[in-house]
Structure 1
Amino acid sequence: MVTITIPENVGVFLLDIEGTTTPITFVKDILFPYIKEHLEDYLSAHWEEDECKQDVHLLKKQAEEDLKENRACPVHAVDQTVHTDEEKAIREVVDNVLWQMAADRKTTALKRLQGHMWRAAYTTGRIKGEVYQDVVPAIRRWRQQGLKVYIYSSGSIEAQKLLFGYSVEGDLLDLFDGHFDTTIGAKVESKSYEKIAERIGCSPQEIMFLTDVTREAKAAEDAGLNVGVVVRPGNMELTEEERSHYSIVMTFSQLELCGRP
C-alpha cells in the first residue's frame, strides 16, 4: 500500500462520510430504505408536533422554490394551520419527499426531516452507524499528533452526529472538532470550502479534505485545500485521468503526517 505524506502545514482533516468514513451500502441499503418504509407512519405519529410542523413548512418552501425554477416536482401545498384533510396533506408530503429522494437531491429541508426520522431509529437501537475499521484508529492518531478533525457531509449535522454517536463502535463524537452540512453551501462549490476554512479559523492550505466524489475534490482543490480521493468497495469508478491527478486513498492508514511522529 502506497504511503501518502500529508504536507507539514496541514493542521485539519475535513472528512466526507458516505464512501469515505462509512460504506455507501449503509446509506443506500439501510438509511434511505428506512425513510421510505416509515415516512408515512412517522408523519402520522408526529404531525401535530412543532418539530414536524417546521419540517413540513421547510419542505413547502422548497417545493415553492422548485416550482419557480420549473422543476416538475409533486405540488406540496400543505399549510398545517388551515389544512383539514390530514391524510391528504401527509400524502402530499410523502410524494414530495419520495420524489426528492428518487432524484438524489440534497436539499436542507429533505435532510432535516430525514435526520429527525433517523434520530428516532438510532436512539431506540433500530439503527447503528457503520464506520470502516481503519477510520477510528487513524483519527485517534491524528488527534494525538495535534490535528483537528471535522466532518462535511450533505447529510444534516444532526444526522452526522447520530451516525457517529450511535455507531457500531460506540459514541465517537469526541473524535470530532465540528460538523458542516449543506447549510454552509453545496459540496461541489468551491465557495463552501472557503467558508469552512474561515469558520474553522485557518487557511484553505492547512486543510486536508478526503472524499470519494471527484466533483467535490475539484471544488475543494479550487478553493486551495489539499485533497485525497477515497476509493472503497462500491464507490464510483475513477477515470485514469482522475487516478493520475489525485492522491488515491484506499485506507486511512496510508496517510502519514510529514515531520510528525
Structure 2
Amino acid sequence: MGVLAVPAGVRAILLDVEGTTTPIAFVKETLFPYVRDNVGTYLRAHWEEEECQRDVGLLRKQAQEDAGLEGAVPIPVESGNGDEELERVIQAVVDNVLWQMALDRKSTALKQLQGHIWRAAYTTGQVKGEVFEDVVPAIRKWREAGMKVYIYSSGSVEAQKLLFGYSTEGDILELFDGHFDTKIGPKVESESYRRIAASIGCATNNILFLTDVPREANAAEEADTHVAVVIRPGNAGLTDDEKSYYSLISSFTELFLPSST
C-alpha cells in the first residue's frame, strides 16, 4: 500500500460505508445489538403511530411469505381484545425480528423497522455514527479539488443519512453529493454502477469506487469503473491473488489527487 494516484479523468468518488468509511464493528457491535435490545420497547412506545403500523404490516406480509421456512415466526393480526392480546402481537413481532436478524436476513420489512429504531436512537443521542478519523479530512480535500463524493451502501439511504448526520464528527451530510442504496441495484452487479453513473451524469470511467469487498470491486470494474479496495481493522482478509490484483489503500489519505484533476 502507500500513495495511490487517482486515475486521470475521475470526477466522482463513490464510497461504500461498512468497512470503508465506518468500522464493521460499529454495525455489528452497536447498531444490530441496539435493535435486538430495544425492538420491544420501541414497538410499545410507537405502536399507535401510522409509521409503526406500516412497518408491522410489512413484517406480517413477510412472515406470511416465510411461513414454510424452518423456525419462521408468524405475526397474528391484532383482534382488539385488550392489553394482553396487544402484548401477544408485539411479542410475536419481536420474535420475528430476532429470528430474521439471527439469519442475517436483508428483507425490506426488517430493514425498514431497523432504520426507524436507529433513527430514534440517533436523534435522542443514544447512538452516534462512527467514521474513521481519516474520512472527513480526506473528503474535504477531494471536494476542494473539485471532486463529487457519493455514498453507495447496502444500508438504506435513510440509514446512511442518519449515520453521517449524527456522527462522531457531527453532521457531515454536507460532504456528500448524493446517496445510493440497493434500490438502484445490487452492489455485486455491474449494471448498478452504470445506473449510478447515468444518475450522476458522467461516464463509468469518471468514477472511482472505494470498497472493502472484492466482489463489489469486480462488478464495478466490469462496468469500466475505477476501483480501489480498502483495508481496515476488522475487515475480511483478502487472498494473495486479490492483494496483487487490486489497488489497495488502508486510509483515504493515501489517495493522491494529481493537479490535473
Q: Cα gap change, 1:86/1:92 in structure 2, threshold over 3 Å: closer, same or farther?
A: same
**Larger Cα Rg: Structure 1 or Structure 2?**
2
CA contact (8 A) 1:74 1:95 kept: no
Q: SS at the partner of 2:127? A: coil
Give the aligned partner of residue 155 of structure 2: 155
Alpha-carbon distance change, 185 to 97 in structure 1, aligned in 2, over 3 angstroms: farther
Unaligned stretches of 5+ residues in structure 1: none
Match of 1:74 in 2: 72
Task: Give the alignment of 1:84-95 within 5 angstroms.
Answer: 85-95=85-95
The residue number in structure 1 matching 2:210 is 210
Does structure 2 retain, via aligned residues, the 8 Å contact 1:66–1:73? no
* Shift in Å, 1:83: 6.7
Question: Which letter maps to 2:165?
Answer: G
Deviation at 1:225, TM superposition (A): 1.3
Is the Cα–Cα contact under 8 Å of residues 157 and 181 in structure 1 kept in the other structure? yes
Q: Aligned-pair distance for 1:73?
A: 5.7
Aligned to 1:184: 184
1:144 counterpart = 2:138:
no
C-alpha contact (below 8 Å) 2:228/2:249 kept by paired residues: yes
Cα separation, 2, equivalents of 1:209 and 1:64:
38
Which of structure 1's runs of 4+ aligned residues deviate more than 6 A?
A: none
Whole-Å separation in 2 of the counterparts to 1:97 and 1:174: 33
User: How far apart, CA to CA, are the structure 1 residues paired with 2:71 and 2:5?
Assistant: 46
How many residue pairs were aligned?
Answer: 258
Q: Which residue of 2 aligns with 1:250?
A: 250
Question: How has the CA–CA distance of structure 1 residues 72 and 190 changed in structure 2, closer, same or farther, with 3 Å as cutoff?
Answer: farther
Residue by residue over 1:155-189, the C-alpha shift from the partner in whole angstroms, topping out at 9 and shown as x without a partner, is 11111111111111111000001111122222222
Letter in 1 for 2:235: N
What is the CA distance between 1:76 and its match in structure 2?
3.4
Q: 1:90-126: CA deviations, max 9, x gaps?
A: 2222222222222222232222211111111111111
Gaps of 5+ in 2: none
Question: Normalising by the residue count of structure 1, what TM-score does the alignment of the two structures yield?
Answer: 0.92
SS in 1 for 2:22: coil
Which residue in 1 is equivalent to 2:121? Answer: 121
Matches within 5 A, 1:17-166: 17-67=17-67, 71-72=69-70, 74-79=72-77, 85-166=85-166
TM-score where L is the length of structure 2: 0.92
Question: Structure 1's 48 and 124: CA in aligned 2 closer, same or farther, altered over 3 A?
Answer: same
User: What percent identity do the matched residue pairs reach?
Assistant: 61
